[in-house]
């Protein structure tokens, strides 16, 4: 059964192909993915590698955790499932405490009495 590994601390120059090539030294790589920012397309500095077996995944962790890849010492460990996060506060929904979309009230900013200015 395939096992997914988390690879953190990657250089922003590391590509999917580079990651796959490096981890293939530990065994068969099912997939290698660098996570990128959805707006800029730039690497976020981490990714995931899926090895074809538990034994190969363990070997990859031993071979690459704390080692240099593209000039950066990387962290390699078994990937954990994404944990559920609590809902974000601040929106305009009444369920979350009001305010507008920007997360505050609409009182303005300059203060004072407008009649005093002229």
pTM above 0.95, yes or no: no
**Domain 3-78 CATH (choose: 3.30.70.330, 3.40.309.10, 3.30.450.20, 3.40.50.720):** 3.30.70.330
Q: What's the pLDDT at 59?
A: 96
Residues with Cβ within 8 Å of 36's Cβ and at least 6 positions away in sequence, in order, are 42, 43, 44
Token couple for 73: 């010492």
Query: Tell me: the pLDDT tens digits for 15-31?
Result: 999 999 999 999 999 99
CA–CA distance, 90 with 63 (Å, rounded to integer): 45
């Amino acid at each position: 059964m395939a096992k997914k590994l988390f690879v953190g601390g990657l250089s922003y120059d590391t590509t999917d192909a580079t990651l796959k090539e490096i981890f293939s030294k530990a065994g068969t790589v099912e997939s290698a993915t660098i996570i990128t920012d959805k707006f800029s397309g730039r690497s976020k500095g981490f990714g995931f590698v899926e090895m074809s077996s538990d034994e190969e995944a363990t070997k990859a962790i031993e071979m690459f955790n704390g080692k240099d890849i593209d000039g950066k010492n990387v962290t390699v460990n078994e990937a954990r499932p994404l944990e559920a996060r609590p809902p974000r506060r601040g929106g305009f929904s009444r369920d979350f405490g009001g305010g507008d979309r920007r997360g505050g009230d609409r009182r303005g900013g300059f203060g004072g009495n407008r009649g005093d200015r002229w």
